[in-house]
Amino acid sequence: MSATARVADALAAELVEAGENVAVASLRPGPAPTPPRLYTERRSRVSIHWVAGGGSRSARSSRQDDGVRRLFEEALDAFGPDVVHVLDIEEGFRDAIPAARRRGVRTVADVEGLARTPSELDHAIYPSAEIAAHGARSAADGVRAHVIPGCALVDPAVASAGPRVNPEERGSLQLAAICELEASAGLEAVLDALRLAGLGPVELTVLGRVVDHRHARTLRTRAEAVPGLALRLFGTFEPRELPGLLADVDCVLIPLEPSKATAVDTRHALACGAPVVSARADGSPDPGMSPSAVLSFDRRSPAELGEVLRRIGGDPAFLSRLRGVARRTPVLGPKEYARAVREVYVDVLAADR
């Protein structure tokens, strides 16, 4: 299940607990039947509609896109919602918002990073005031903006405050990369950065599903050529495991370009008190979080990432400031997030009265 799908499930569960009638429509990762197929089930009073064969947007043909749109519209007609909330406008259903508007259904969408605010949208949810200000410049007239810090599926009662030992005291730099392991994940840039930085003993743990086993073998071979590097491929994890997995990590790397999924992974890491270094798109500063909360690097420049990691590993005062910023970054738990989102829905429906 993708990071975004996990947040959608958690939001649905909390909304049902508050007395709402909820359906979730999502794309299922994995082998893709042709044409795509729609499966519907009931789970804990939530109607689940998932499409097998959608895959990522970049991998979908126009014919697959047509099939996904048709199946989404079937789910929309079957459930008959008052509000459609699109959590991932980049990888989700391409035509969800216009399809909803054609049926007279009000629309809400989460807008992360530099993503353009969709046309025909009624309400936009931004993770920070900075992103809302950027979104206002690209939004159509009449779009209402709301700022809601993102949701982290990590229990704050057990979340780690981050390691207190510095790399110099420990004798090694501890890194974790969160991404599904495939050719497009950007891990080659991370390995190149570590080779160029010459940091000495480094332990790099990759957290995420191994999609391409051939690529995994290639990465292991490349890692062996980096002096002092120990590479560990952990595989699939649950968000609740992150406080333990990141307890001794000095820095979390998000090597994929900004998206809804990477924003969720970033928030999970920050909720655990771990500093984050994230890839940015087209050389622009990463706006997925406040610039003070997340350092960014250009995936096309391993030397830039190497410099960032060298400073994290060799400047205890700098690392201490990063840890403090991570702990102070506002992140909502599922209940608080659902309460804030539900207020947006109330605002949406009040406009029709």
In this prediction, residue 262 carries a pLDDT of 86
SS3 state at 19: coil
Q: Which residue has the tokens 């495939």?
A: 182
Residue-wise pLDDT tens digits, 171-186? 999 999 999 888 888 8
Q: Where in the chain is the domain with CATH 3.40.50.2000?
A: 3-151+332-350, 167-328
Quick one: pLDDT band at residue 60, thresholds 50, 70, 90? Answer: low
Q: Where are the beta strands (DSSP E) in 209-274?
A: 229-235, 251-254
> Of 192-196, 207-211, 295-299, where does mean pLDDT reach its minimum?
295-299
Sequence-distant contacts of 31-34: CB under 8 A, at least 24 apart:
32/64, 34/64
Which pLDDT value is given to residue 309? Answer: 94
Q: Which pLDDT score, from 0 to 100, does residue 256 have? A: 87
For domain 167-328, the CATH superfamily is: Glycogen Phosphorylase B; (3.40.50.2000)
Predicted local distance difference test score (pLDDT) of residue 291: 40
Taking all residues of the chain, what is their mean pLDDT, rounded to a whole number? 84
Residue 1 in contact with residue 322, Cβ under 8 Å? Answer: no
What pLDDT does 174 receive?
Answer: 96
E strands, the chain, in order: 22-28, 37-43, 46-52, 83-86, 106-110, 123-126, 144-147, 173-178, 202-207, 229-235, 251-254, 276-280, 294-298
Q: Which range, 1-10, 116-125, 155-164, 314-323, is most confident? A: 314-323
Assign residue 156 a region (left: φ > 0; alpha: ψ between -120 and 50; beta: otherwise): alpha
Model confidence at 15: pLDDT above 90:
yes
Higher per-residue pLDDT: 235 or 165? 235
- The Cα–Cα gap between 190 and 266 comes to 17
Q: How far apart are CA 12 and CA 69, in angstroms?
A: 22
Binned at pLDDT 50, 70 and 90, residue 29 comes out as low
| Pair 326, 162: CB distance under 8 Å | yes
Beta bridge partners of 252: 176, 276
The least confident of 102-111, 118-127, 288-297 is 288-297
pLDDT at 142: 74
CB neighbour class for 184 (10 Å; exposed up to 12, middle 13-18, buried from 19): middle
Give the range with max mean pLDDT: 39-53, 193-207, 268-282. 193-207
- Distance (Å, rounded) from C-alpha 270 to C-alpha 323? 9
Topology annotation, domain 3-151+332-350: Rossmann fold (3.40.50)
**Residue 352 to residue 340: CA distance in whole angstroms:** 20
The overall pTM is greater than 0.85: no
Q: Does an H or E element contain 343, and which?
A: helix 334-350
Helix (H) or strand (E) run with residue 219 in it: helix 213-224
Structure confidence at residue 290 (pLDDT): 42
Cis before residue 35, ω within 30 degrees of 0? yes
pLDDT at 107: 92
DSSP strand pairing (123-126 vs 144-147):
parallel
Residue 210 carries which DSSP code? B
pLDDT at 351 over 60: yes
User: Which of the residue ranges 80-94, 258-272, 308-322 would you say has the lowest mean pLDDT?
Assistant: 80-94
Q: Identify the pLDDT of residue 41.
A: 80
Among 39-43, 255-259, 344-348, top mean pLDDT goes to 344-348
First to last CA, the chain: 38
Q: What angle do CA 343, 99, 71 make, to 5 degrees?
A: 110
Residue 277 has pLDDT above 70, yes or no: yes
Mean pLDDT within 190-208: 94
**Tokens 């499409």 correspond to what residue?**
51
| pLDDT score recorded for residue 46 | 83
Whether the pLDDT of residue 274 is over 80: the answer is yes
Interval 118-163: pLDDT, tens:
777 889 998 888 788 877 666 666 788 899 988 888 876 666 555 6
Task: Give the pairing type, strands 46-52 and 83-86.
Answer: unpaired
Give the Cα separation of 86 and 74 in Å (integer).
16
For 122, the token pair is 């009624």
* Separation of alpha carbons 120 and 86, rounded Å: 13
Q: Which residues, other chains included, contact 129 with Cβ-Cβ below 8 Å and sequence gap of 6+?
A: 147
Q: Token pair 């406080």 is at which residue?
A: 243
Does 166 or 276 have the greater pLDDT score? 276
Q: Which residue, chain included where needed, has tokens 């400031």? A: 321
pLDDT given for residue 283 in this prediction: 46
In three-state secondary structure terms, 186 is: coil
220 confidence band (pLDDT: 50, 70, 90): very high
Strand partners, 205: 176, 232
Q: Is 85 helix (H, G, I), strand (E, B) or coil?
A: strand
